[in-house]
């Protein structure tokens, strides 16, 4: 039998968690775009597919650990801590890749080179998967 009261409690918890995850995702996107030396928003509006792929990979790489954190945490504060850590890791990886391992990455993304974007997106997603797997304590 369907219990409306239990459903309401679960739905409220769902809405709070979903809103919080959405807010963290938006905050990550804005901070990530602030950290990157190119302007994704402008490049994407101009039709730069490479910028869209790179940003999409970073967002997927960030949301994967958020989903894991939502599944494995017991409080919103604990979720927030994991969300913050996941964002920091994604940004540190971007900085490390763009400044140390692949120095002309920024120029290549701005030029619309898909290979560079797929490489960056793949790294972001891999880091996100590892991040998510590590959140199973």
User: In angstroms, rounded to a whole number, what is the distance separating the alpha carbons of residues 29 and 25?
Assistant: 6
> Which of 21-35, 76-90, 97-111 has the lowest average pLDDT?
97-111
* List of residues 6+ apart from 115 with CB closer than 8 A: 108
Model confidence at 100, pLDDT cuts 50, 70, 90, reads confident
Residue 93 pLDDT: 94
| Average pLDDT, integer, range 93-108 | 90
Output the average pLDDT for the chain: 93
- Is pLDDT above 90 for 47? yes
pTM above 0.85, yes or no: yes
């Amino acid at each position: 039998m369907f219990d409306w009261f239990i459903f309401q409690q679960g739905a409220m918890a769902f809405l709070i968690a979903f809103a919080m995850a959405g807010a963290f995702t938006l905050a990550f996107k804005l901070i990530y775009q602030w950290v990157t030396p190119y302007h994704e928003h402008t490049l994407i509006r101009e039709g730069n597919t490479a910028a869209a792929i790179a940003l999409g990979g970073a967002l997927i790489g960030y949301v994967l650990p958020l989903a894991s954190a939502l599944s494995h945490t017991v409080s919103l504060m604990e979720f927030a801590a994991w969300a913050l850590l996941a964002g920091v890791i994604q940004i540190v990886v971007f900085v490390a890749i763009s400044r140390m391992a692949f120095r002309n990455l920024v120029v290549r993304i701005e030029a619309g080179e898909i290979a560079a974007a797929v490489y960056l997106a793949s790294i972001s997603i891999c880091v996100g998967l590892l991040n998510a797997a590590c959140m199973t304590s």
